[in-house]
Structure 1
Amino acid sequence: MSKVTKGARRSLIWLAAILVAIYGLLAVGVLTGNASWTPGLALDLAGGRQIILTPVLDEGATQEIDQSDLDQAVSVIRQRVDASGVAEAEITTQGNNIVVALPGTPDDATVDLVAQAAQLQFRPVLLVGDPSPTTTDDETVTESDETPVAEPSASASATPEPTPSASEVANLITDAEPEPSASPSAVLLDAAVPEASPSPSAETTDEAAAEPEDASSFAWLTEDVMADYAALDCLDVENYGGRTMGDPDAGYVACSSADFAKLAMGPVEVTGDDLETASSGPEMSQTGSFTGGYEVRLQFNSEGAAKFADVTTRLVGLEDPRNQFAIVLDGVVISHPVVQSRITNGEASISGNFTQEQAEQLANQLKFGALPLSLEVQSNQQISSTLGADQLEKGLIAGLIGLVLVALYSLVQYRALGFVTIASLIIAGATTFGVISLLSWGLGYRLSLAGIAGLIVAIGITADSFIVYFERIRDELREGRSLKSAVDHAWTRARRTILISDAVSLLAAVTLYILAVGGVRGFAFTLGLTTVIDVIVVMLFTHPVMVLLARTKFFGEGHKWSGLDPRQLGRDTMYKGRGRVRTGAAAPKDGLTLAERRAAERKAAEGGAVAADEVGEPTAAEVAAVNDAAEVSEADADDAPANDRKGDV
């Protein structure tokens, strides 16, 4: 068995292993009752539940709800829904109402989660650790718990990051009018990456066993709190939305959306009720000049100012990271700045390497959390699909018609070779269906009508890749190569064209997915997914099958029904790629094929020149000998620059 044949069979084995893995995992999900053989459907095809919420201020509140507050409420609700695993949800505003449409049949916990009001808390920081879950013994924290987080490779937050990354200077909180004796340091401290996080060891273990002296005491790190701290995974998106806020009078652990660090904190000392408002703007130095950066300004009410003065007075004298306080919104730490001075007048500012957008985002989050706002459920009802089963049926029929037409065209144009196209489309369809069903189970993905449109478009993209390959094989046969040689040379050239074409399609799909909203993203997702699968099928199925077929008698000898008969291909038609051909000028010089010209040259060298009209059809042995002799020189010509190759397509 040749090396080429072994490589082809190995590729087919890899493809079979991929399909077995996909449907094996799906079977496990079906048997455990967590998955289905078919993908979940989105709102437009399956319907769902619609909840209309109305934001209401508490009695006696003087603030007003504006559009930015509604947008922030939508952001918080979307974060909760995403963390709960519900995909393809639609969350919009209509006037002063918030409309939440959840596909399928969401459970009661998800519905209750949507209607919860966001809470804002200020807690003192006790530990800052690595985002990954760790193990602990009975009384101590492992070294990995104390390792500060650097900058993880994947984002776990569903909302824009309001604070600088771990590699930048973190937040610095200063008094708007600092006292002379407590002026802030000239060096900004990095709250996200402290040099070390203290661990409650011998001395602090005794402290933890006693009653806490204040909110910054390690005594708040009880066994339950430390167990939660060790188990918390801040690389999991589910821990960035919809988490319970915990007991305000006990220790608490949460993830930071600013740098994905894991924080252990003391009890709540200041709440959103104590914060009057928040705003953002250019940062100013103590002399009143602009620094070029941006800051977030906090204004506390009289009661909050007194609480905050006590907090900053205690924290400013503690070691890192206990000189930080965490701002927790809806169970997620949105910032944990370092206290640089006592703040006694209720006016503070958070500064750092903010962009204008980051400062505005953090200010809006603080302002929203400070609102005495609740969400009242105006209606909670089941809704029918906006398009329904009728549109789904029509979409599937359209896809089936397109598939049948492609199959008929392939059989007419390529005869038996068309069955390779049909088999490739079946493999691509089975792979796509399995992957989408897995995504529906694992990530809650739901297929919309726009997504089905992307799958239908993919039929043409996939078939186009096969046509490029087959036509290149035909061109090589017209030049007089044997089928084995034609398959190898055609693959070298067609592969480049296929990869470039698919790369452009994938780039368009990714760009569309990032920039678009709603159903258009569903179209972009399935288009990108099928483009990747197209590359896999061509590499692991279509080309290996052609390599094996080229070694069969039916295809290798050019049977008239194989679609690869050199006599039926003709000499005056050459494929230029992607549906274009050239005729007439592409005919071989003197009306001879490559094999005939080589044979004539060989005879001329042996016994004198032979006129073109005196050269008859070469024997099979002569053709094989000429092709073998020309193999090396033609391979070199294939590698030459395109401008230097005459007749290259």
Structure 2
Amino acid sequence: MAPPTSSQSRPGRTLLLLLALILAMGATIALQKAFVPKFGLDLAGGTTVTLSPVTTTGKAPPSESIDRAITIIRARVNGQGLSDAEVARANDNIVISIPGVGQQEALKLVSTTAELRMRQVLAAASAKEQPAQMPTAAPTPSGSASPGAAASAGASATPNAGATPAGRALSSALTAPTPSPTARHANAATGQHANGATGRKHGARGAGAKASPTPTPSASPSAAPSAQASDDPLAGQDTSGIEPALLDQFRKIDCTAKNRGQGAQDDPSKQIVACSDDGTVRYILDKAAVQGTEISGAQAGTDPTTGEWIVQVNFKSKGASQFADITRRITSLPAPRNQLANVLDGVVVVAPTIEEAIPGGSARISGNFNQTSATELADQLKYGSLPLKFRQSEVTSVSSTLGQDQLRGGLISGAFGLLIVVIYLLLYYRGLGLIGVASLIVATVVTYSIVTILSHNAGFRLSLPHIIGLVVSIGITADSFIVYFERIRDEIKEGRRTLRSAVEVAWRRARRTILVADAVMFIAAIVLFFLAVGGVAGFAFAMGLTTLIDILVVFLFTKPLMAVAARMRFFAKGHKLSGLDAERMGRTSPAEQTMQEA
């Protein structure tokens, strides 16, 4: 037989490429020690929480609001990955089923309103005094804070950065000013952190905001709160334009109460009184200048200069204009009215000083974030705010006993179906059937590897609908190489081609049929996935995934392996067990046509 040419050695390189791909996936699984995929709610159990809407009137909420909340919650859950979570409506309640254990963060994500509003600060003061505690002195870095900055802290307690709930910017040491007309707040740093006697300061700024390394040193240098500050937190502050009822509410508000305002629905068209996230500062805030509905996207990332985690917020066209207008209007006002508070669920996340107008349609929220809290806040803002406030009326654990029994039955039926396909291939195609069986084995290995990797890196959880979709895919994969085998046999039956040429000509004709059939299947899977929910969407995902794997296996394994087999005397000479023998072909053995190449 003549030595193979460069073109004839390509099947070997293609098979090596597939082998490298399988080894890479295997190495990923081994490094992550993720040998078994995670299971969904029906196979692993999980948590079911029932959310009941709370309205100010006590009446049932509009049906449209419930439907919108379901859509937003479902988007948030899917944003955490292909977690197989289920969101359904039960009368006026929303039932959320989340697989696995340790899902408290996800439950918090779906049950908060996450409505961001940007409001101008009209007045600010420290929260009601706690039992006296002397502030811990710390050395002031050169050029980062002045004695006046420490003075503005009053007698606030030493901050605890770890006490902030997940999903909020950690407002550690948002220290309050001594309420004099010219006092600056410790949280007036525009997006720049500084460590001084008052603790860690933070802020949020938009693109182009001018950082102020030190607060204006005009605050009283006293380290202890003045008697005037204890008597009236509004003493010396400009109260013009503030609704009278809010002044009394501001004096009485208790920012130390547990769950102070989280999930509260503040009216964007009214002035409000609110507390900082860590409970150290109280504010009077103007009507909302920019609402969360004007946010087009939010991403968590790190500041390239400081390395701290931030949340980048992008606005729609209207929101960008509103943001530019409010920052332009307040930049020249005296403190604290030159601060723009970011209010999330009725709580002030951060209230930075605005030193110049910020056009461009984007801003960023910075604070004492870590990766988890920054990502969670970005997801809340990105997927929208709930139109209602909800309370968790019931939380129960879900058993996986029934699912395990169904899994066992599904695996048995899948193995039985696979066995029937293998027997059929061997009986009908004989030697060619071995290539078909090898293709099924490779498809199984690739499918399991991809499912395992997705499970541990993209939140994918294997459920019964997924398994059904994977079992059905056995027929899809078998159908592809059966089409190819029949094309080869047709070419040989015509008697004008050798096996080698028949393999190549048949492939050009078969691949068109295979691609069209898989394209139809994949389009159907996409449509079903986006239009359906729950188990049906899981089935569609599995079907679409295995359709892509089928194309991968047929192009990178079945066809190259068939090209290699065509060089073997067993197939080329039409052995009786090859599936290409003369009797089965109904013509003279193809061996006579390949003698020239022997």
TM-score by length of 1: 0.53
8 Å CA contact 2:328, 2:358 repeated in 1: yes
Pick which of 21-30 and 86-95 moved more: 86-95
Aligned counterparts of 2:347 and 2:436: Cα–Cα separation in 1: 53
Residues 383 and 494 (structure 1 numbering): CA distance in 2 closer, same or farther, change over 3 Å? same
Residues 209 and 525 (structure 1 numbering): CA distance in 2 closer, same or farther, change over 3 Å? farther
Shift of 1:261: 7.3
State the match for 2:309 in structure 1.
Answer: none
State the match for 1:2 in structure 2.
Answer: 5
Match status 1:399 vs 2:414? yes
Match status 1:546 vs 2:562? yes
Report the AA paired with residue 563 of structure 1.
Answer: G
8 Å CA contact 2:18, 2:556 repeated in 1: yes
8 Å CA contact 1:421, 1:466 repeated in 2: yes
Aligned counterparts of 1:548 and 1:78: Cα–Cα separation in 2: 49
Aligned with 1:559: secondary structure? coil
Match status 1:448 vs 2:463? yes
State the match for 2:175 in structure 1.
Answer: none
8 Å CA contact 2:207, 2:358 repeated in 1: no
Aligned counterparts of 1:27 and 1:441: Cα–Cα separation in 2: 12
* Alignment of structure 1 residues 271-420 onto 2, 5 Å: 315-316=328-329, 368=387, 373=389, 375-385=390-400, 387-420=402-435
Segments of 5+ residues of structure 1 without an aligned counterpart are 126-137, 141-195, 215-244, 265-293, 297-307, 341-361, 572-592, 596-618, 629-649
Residues 261 and 523 (structure 1 numbering): CA distance in 2 closer, same or farther, change over 3 Å? closer
Aligned counterparts of 2:72 and 2:394: Cα–Cα separation in 1: 20
Match status 1:68 vs 2:84? no
Shift of 1:112: 4.5
1:446-499 Cα distance to aligned partner (Å, 9 max, x none)? 122222121121111111111111111111111222111111111111111111
Aligned counterparts of 1:107 and 1:421: Cα–Cα separation in 2: 43
Pick which of 500-509 and 376-385 moved more: 376-385
Residues 255 and 57 (structure 1 numbering): CA distance in 2 closer, same or farther, change over 3 Å? closer
* Alignment of structure 1 residues 239-638 onto 2, 5 Å: 257-260=295-298, 315-316=328-329, 368=387, 373=389, 375-385=390-400, 387-480=402-495, 481-571=497-587, 620=592
Report the AA paired with residue 12 of structure 1.
Answer: L
8 Å CA contact 2:111, 2:391 repeated in 1: yes
Aligned counterparts of 1:389 and 1:44: Cα–Cα separation in 2: 8
State the match for 2:14 in structure 1.
Answer: 11
Of the three residues 83, 90, 98, the one matched with 1:87 is 83
State the match for 2:132 in structure 1.
Answer: none
* Alignment of structure 1 residues 160-179 onto 2, 5 Å: none
State the match for 1:100 in structure 2.
Answer: 96
RMSD: 4.5
Aligned counterparts of 2:82 and 2:400: Cα–Cα separation in 1: 17
Report the AA paired with residue 502 of structure 2.
Answer: A
* Alignment of structure 1 residues 633-644 onto 2, 5 Å: none
Shift of 1:508: 1.2
8 Å CA contact 2:484, 2:506 repeated in 1: yes
State the match for 2:243 in structure 1.
Answer: none
Shift of 1:422: 0.4
Shift of 1:376: 3.1
Whose relative contact order is higher, 1 or 2, with alpha carbons under 8 Å and at least 6 apart? 2
1:272-304 Cα distance to aligned partner (Å, 9 max, x none)? xxxxxxxxxxxxxxxxxxxxxx999xxxxxxxx
Aligned counterparts of 1:210 and 1:475: Cα–Cα separation in 2: 93
Aligned with 2:98: secondary structure? strand
Aligned counterparts of 2:293 and 2:58: Cα–Cα separation in 1: 33
Segments of 5+ residues of structure 2 without an aligned counterpart are 122-141, 145-205, 220-236, 239-275, 284-291, 303-316, 333-337, 350-356, 360-380
Report the AA paired with residue 442 of structure 2.
Answer: I
8 Å CA contact 1:255, 1:263 repeated in 2: no
Aligned with 1:88: secondary structure? coil
Shift of 1:21: 1.2
8 Å CA contact 1:255, 1:332 repeated in 2: no
Shift of 1:379: 2.3
Residues 313 and 18 (structure 1 numbering): CA distance in 2 closer, same or farther, change over 3 Å? closer
1:115-165 Cα distance to aligned partner (Å, 9 max, x none)? 54545532469xxxxxxxxxxxx999xxxxxxxxxxxxxxxxxxxxxxxxx
Shift of 1:85: 4.9
Aligned with 1:258: secondary structure? strand
Aligned counterparts of 1:208 and 1:84: Cα–Cα separation in 2: 43
Shift of 1:38: 2.2
8 Å CA contact 1:479, 1:594 repeated in 2: no
Shift of 1:418: 0.5
Residues 570 and 98 (structure 1 numbering): CA distance in 2 closer, same or farther, change over 3 Å? same
Residues 262 and 316 (structure 1 numbering): CA distance in 2 closer, same or farther, change over 3 Å? farther
Pick which of 71-80 and 97-106 moved more: 71-80
Shift of 1:15: 0.5
8 Å CA contact 1:315, 1:324 repeated in 2: no
Report the AA paired with residue 39 of structure 2.
Answer: L
Report the AA paired with residue 555 of structure 2.
Answer: M
Residues 79 and 91 (structure 1 numbering): CA distance in 2 closer, same or farther, change over 3 Å? same
Shift of 1:209: 8.3
Aligned with 1:102: secondary structure? strand
Aligned with 1:40: secondary structure? coil
* Alignment of structure 1 residues 14-33 onto 2, 5 Å: 14-30=17-33
8 Å CA contact 2:41, 2:100 repeated in 1: yes
8 Å CA contact 1:316, 1:339 repeated in 2: no
Report the AA paired with residue 410 of structure 1.
Answer: L
State the match for 1:54 in structure 2.
Answer: 52
Residues 332 and 122 (structure 1 numbering): CA distance in 2 closer, same or farther, change over 3 Å? same
State the match for 2:272 in structure 1.
Answer: none
Residues 2 and 112 (structure 1 numbering): CA distance in 2 closer, same or farther, change over 3 Å? same
TM-score by length of 2: 0.57
Aligned with 1:53: secondary structure? strand
8 Å CA contact 1:118, 1:329 repeated in 2: yes
Report the AA paired with residue 518 of structure 1.
Answer: G
Shift of 1:339: 12
Aligned with 2:436: secondary structure? helix
Report the AA paired with residue 101 of structure 1.
Answer: S
1:72-125 Cα distance to aligned partner (Å, 9 max, x none)? 444454455445557111122322322221112134444455554545532469
8 Å CA contact 2:113, 2:385 repeated in 1: no
Aligned counterparts of 1:542 and 1:263: Cα–Cα separation in 2: 44
Residues 331 and 258 (structure 1 numbering): CA distance in 2 closer, same or farther, change over 3 Å? farther
8 Å CA contact 1:139, 1:205 repeated in 2: yes
Paired residues in the alignment total 399
State the match for 1:147 in structure 2.
Answer: none
Aligned counterparts of 1:398 and 1:330: Cα–Cα separation in 2: 54
Shift of 1:514: 1.4
Report the AA paired with residue 569 of structure 1.
Answer: M
Aligned counterparts of 1:139 and 1:423: Cα–Cα separation in 2: 70
Report the AA paired with residue 49 of structure 1.
Answer: T
Report the AA paired with residue 411 of structure 1.
Answer: L
Aligned with 2:500: secondary structure? helix
1:486-545 Cα distance to aligned partner (Å, 9 max, x none)? 111111111111111111111111111111122111111111111111111111111111
8 Å CA contact 2:293, 2:384 repeated in 1: no
Aligned counterparts of 1:459 and 1:86: Cα–Cα separation in 2: 23
* Alignment of structure 1 residues 140-159 onto 2, 5 Å: none
Aligned with 1:49: secondary structure? strand
Aligned counterparts of 1:332 and 1:3: Cα–Cα separation in 2: 69
State the match for 1:606 in structure 2.
Answer: none
State the match for 2:127 in structure 1.
Answer: none
